[in-house]
Amino acid sequence: MVPDKVERLCRRAQQAIAERDWDKAKQGYLMALAMRSDLPDVHYGLATVYFQQRELTSAAHHFREVTRLEPNRAGAHINLGAVLNLLNQYDEAIAALRRGIQLDPQRVEGYYNLGLVYRRKGQADLAITAYREAIRLNPRMADAHLNLANLYLERENARMALNHYQQAAQLRPNWDKALEGIEQAKAILEDTQPASPAQSPAQPAAASVIESDKFVDPVHHANFLTTLHSSASVAEDTARLLQKIVGEEIDPVLKELSYALMHTHGSRSELDNCLSKFETALGRLRSARAALKQSMTKISESNNKFPTA
């Protein structure tokens, strides 16, 4: 009887969330919690409601309960990290987000929120790397493009900033923040562009135009150079990730697996657990290798278009 009543209360609460009736949803989940305090979904729903009502401390508490009751639930760790960031608990937020990403390396929101935390901590390099990974997993994530552009602009890399502002504007047309960023980046580029030398009366105007097939010029080949730089940066980040996976995931798992195979007294479940961890690490390695191969292909394609003298 109690489980049925809890299930009905949760369904009503979920419907209330769909209708954005947060008070009704909270009441339903609190009643369910009074009957069963050991159900992760009840805590998760309640945490979601508290977050929507900006009761962040309560939201963090219930997301923590989810991670305690269901430690392998990646979304709970990521949401906990996002809430802790808003509570200015940056180190705890990073730990929660990294755990969520470890459990599910394909969770775009994990890398995106990691970028938010690192930026608030003033660690721009790490924030850029996190946003790049989010964009690699989801190139259509407009917010990640915008935040990455803002970071590039702060670091006086107006060309890379312009590139990501433009991508954000393409994904979300008429987005004021992206359009303002485009204008700001263009203004900086115009201010830093060297002035053209005065024309000699005897020299035709066409003679002052740089011949694009002779050499690479930062102004006339801006798009080409931006694409090449972006591809090289992604390749570098992916290569580092590949190295990290081998050193921090593959090697330790291989040692565990070797130990489990050499000691026959080990349980079957222990061996299965080692094999499962090895398969997961191997999957991560394959994904990183494929991403690196894709990046190198882009660099190769750019190289083939490199203007020659």
Whether 285 maps to a domain, the answer reads yes
How sure is the predictor about 141, in pLDDT bands with cuts at 50, 70 and 90? very high
Largest CA distance in the chain: 98
Whether 296 maps to a domain, the answer reads yes
CA atoms within 13 A on the CB side of 232: 9
Q: How many domains does the chain have?
A: 2
Whether 165 and 231 map to the same domain: the answer is: no
Please tell me the predicted confidence (pLDDT) of residue 285. Answer: 79
DSSP secondary structure letter of residue 203: S
Higher pLDDT, 140 or 309: 140
Residue 19 has pLDDT above 60, yes or no: yes
Please tell me the predicted confidence (pLDDT) of residue 63. Answer: 96
Whether 233 and 173 map to the same domain: the answer is: no
Rounded to whole angstroms, how far apart are CA atoms 47 and 298? 43
Whether 247 and 185 map to the same domain: the answer is: no
- Domain with 250, as residue range(s), is 217-304
How sure is the predictor about 212, in pLDDT bands with cuts at 50, 70 and 90? very low
Whether 179 maps to a domain, the answer reads yes
Whether 172 and 241 map to the same domain: the answer is: no
How sure is the predictor about 12, in pLDDT bands with cuts at 50, 70 and 90? very high
Look at the chain and count its residues. Answer: 309
Whether 226 and 185 map to the same domain: the answer is: no
Two structure tokens written together for 72: 């392998």
Whether 248 and 170 map to the same domain: the answer is: no
Rounded to whole angstroms, how far apart are CA atoms 232 and 212? 22
Rounded to whole angstroms, how far apart are CA atoms 268 and 274? 10
Whether 233 maps to a domain, the answer reads yes
Whether 156 maps to a domain, the answer reads yes
Rounded to whole angstroms, how far apart are CA atoms 33 and 62? 11
Whether 11 maps to a domain, the answer reads no
Average pLDDT over all residues of the chain: 82
- What percentage of the chain exceeds 70 in pLDDT? 77
Amino acid making up residue 112: Y
In this prediction, residues 276-283 reach a mean pLDDT of 78
Please tell me the predicted confidence (pLDDT) of residue 228. Answer: 61
Rounded to whole angstroms, how far apart are CA atoms 170 and 94? 31
In this prediction, residues 89-116 reach a mean pLDDT of 95
Higher pLDDT, 297 or 209: 297
Looking at residue 176, which CATH number applies to its domain? 1.25.40.10
pLDDT in tens, 236-245: 777 777 777 8
Whether 250 maps to a domain, the answer reads yes
The most confident of the ranges 94-103, 195-204, 274-283 is 94-103
Residue 208 has pLDDT above 70, yes or no: no
Whether 185 and 236 map to the same domain: the answer is: no
Beta-carbon contacts of residue 128 (< 8 Å; ≥ 6 apart): 115, 148, 151, 152
Please tell me the predicted confidence (pLDDT) of residue 299. Answer: 72
Whether 133 maps to a domain, the answer reads no
How sure is the predictor about 280, in pLDDT bands with cuts at 50, 70 and 90? confident
In this prediction, residues 165-169 reach a mean pLDDT of 95
CB 79 within 8 A of CB 63: yes
Classified as helix, coil or strand, 122 is: coil
Two structure tokens written together for 14: 């979920």
Please tell me the predicted confidence (pLDDT) of residue 154. Answer: 93
Rounded to whole angstroms, how far apart are CA atoms 103 and 173? 34
Please tell me the predicted confidence (pLDDT) of residue 214. Answer: 37
- What percentage of the chain exceeds 90 in pLDDT? 58
Helices 74-86 and 56-69: angle between axes, nearest 10 degrees:
160
